[in-house]
């Protein structure tokens, strides 16, 4: 199994631009999670999906953030417009119903 | 909500030393995981251990669910063990949000 695959690994963008982060979960996993990690706030859960349906998006910081999961093998996290304070490492993770979560390698986002 | 506390917050070891990291949680859990975040930022699953004991090479973990704690043992530490070790738990119930500790930052010196 290839594990959770995220792209891009690194993204540098200018303030105001749209940023799209992508995630392919492990096949057969029915939960998908988006996290953000910063030095100041640690790991924060942004949103999670179950069977492609968003279950809890209470961690999404504001309306500039949106996430979709059009099918079981693909999810996106979009920031529009991006701001410097969005700079962080964004992780995607997936799991089966009651077992452990596996993380992708993360996308390091820098907004200048 | 459930609280997760890890100790110690920081640890410096000489290569070859053993160590024990602790994770305390304030409520019943049905899922507990230990992760290692290496210096390159990658989060790696170490153990899924809601109860009992597991071993994987030089690492082992024990969770005593009734007493609400888990321990991660690192034996014969190596410089590649450096990084941050996180404990994360899921409350018993339907919510799938992992609750994370703040981590133990480990530095293993050669």
Chain A contact set for B96 (CB, 8 A): 31, 33, 48, 50, 55-56, 95
- Kindly give the parts of chain A with pLDDT less than 70: 1, 98
Chain A contact set for B95 (CB, 8 A): 56
Compute the distance between CA of residue A111 and CA of residue A26 in angstroms, rounded to an integer: 29
Compute the distance between CA of residue A87 and CA of residue A49 in angstroms, rounded to an integer: 23
pLDDT score at A98 = 63
Q: Mutate which of A44, A101, A102, A103 to disrupt the B interface (most B C-beta within 10 Å)?
A: A101
pLDDT score at B97 = 81
Compute the distance between CA of residue B8 and CA of residue B1 in angstroms, rounded to an integer: 22
User: B102 CB contacts (<8 Å, ≥6 apart)?
Assistant: A42, B5, B6, B9
Backbone φ and ψ of B79, nearest 5°: -60, -30
B51–chain A Cβ distance below 8 A for any pair: no
User: B83 CB contacts (<8 Å, ≥6 apart)?
Assistant: B36, B37, B38, B39, B105, B106
DSSP for B12-42 reads EEETT--EEEEEEESS-EEEEEEEEE-TT--
Exposure of A65 in the CB half-sphere (CA atoms within 13 A): 19
CA A101 from centre of chain: 14
Contact B97 A101 (CB under 8 A): no
Over residues B12-27, the pLDDT tens digits come to: 999 999 999 999 999 8
CA B51 from centre of chain: 13
Task: Band the pLDDT of B29: cuts 50, 70, 90.
Answer: confident
DSSP for A63-81 reads TTEEEEEEETTEEEEEESS
pLDDT score at A29 = 94
pLDDT score at A60 = 94
Q: How many CB atoms lie within 10 A of CB B30?
A: 13
B38–chain A Cβ distance below 8 A for any pair: no
In whole numbers, what is the pLDDT of chain B averaged over residues?
Answer: 93
* Nearest residue on chain B to A6, alpha-carbon basis: B42
How would you classify residue A2: left for phi > 0, otherwise alpha for psi between -120 and 50, otherwise beta?
Answer: alpha
A100–chain B Cβ distance below 8 A for any pair: yes
Taking one residue from A and the other from B, the number of pairs with CB-CB distance under 8 angstroms is: 46
Residues B49 and B70: beta-carbon distance below 8 Å: yes
Compute the distance between CA of residue A103 and CA of residue B8 in angstroms, rounded to an integer: 24
Chain B contact set for A93 (CB, 8 A): 43
pLDDT score at B96 = 75
A103–chain B Cβ distance below 8 A for any pair: yes
Percent of chain B having pLDDT more than 70? Answer: 96
Q: Rounded mean pLDDT of B39-61?
A: 94
Token pair 């996106």 is at which residue? A76
Whether residue B94 has pLDDT greater than 70: no
Q: Rounded mean pLDDT of B81-107?
A: 88
pLDDT score at A100 = 85
């Amino acid at each position: 199994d290839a594990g959770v695959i995220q792209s891009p690994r690194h993204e540098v963008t200018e303030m105001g631009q749209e940023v799209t982060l992508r995630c392919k979960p492990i096949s057969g996993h029915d939960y998908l999670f988006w996290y953000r990690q910063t030095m100041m706030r640690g790991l924060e859960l942004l949103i999670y999906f179950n069977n492609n349906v968003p279950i809890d998006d209470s961690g999404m910081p504001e309306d500039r953030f949106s996430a979709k999961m059009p099918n079981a093998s693909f999810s996106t996290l979009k920031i529009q417009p991006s701001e410097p304070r969005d700079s962080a490492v964004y992780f995607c993770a997936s799991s089966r119903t009651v077992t452990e979560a596996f993380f992708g390698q993360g996308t390091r986002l820098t907004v200048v | 909500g459930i609280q997760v506390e890890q100790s110690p917050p920081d640890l410096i070891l000489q290569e070859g030393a053993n160590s024990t990291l602790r994770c305390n949680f304030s409520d019943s859990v049905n899922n507990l995981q230990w992760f290692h975040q290496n210096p390159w930022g990658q989060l790696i699953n170490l153990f899924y251990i809601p109860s009992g004991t597991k071993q994987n090479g030089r690492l082992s973990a024990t969770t005593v669910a009734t007493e609400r704690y888990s321990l991660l043992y690192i034996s014969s530490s190596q410089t590649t063990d450096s990084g941050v070790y996180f404990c994360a738990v899921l409350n018993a119930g339907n919510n799938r949000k992992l609750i994370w500790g703040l981590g133990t930052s480990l530095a293993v010196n050669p």
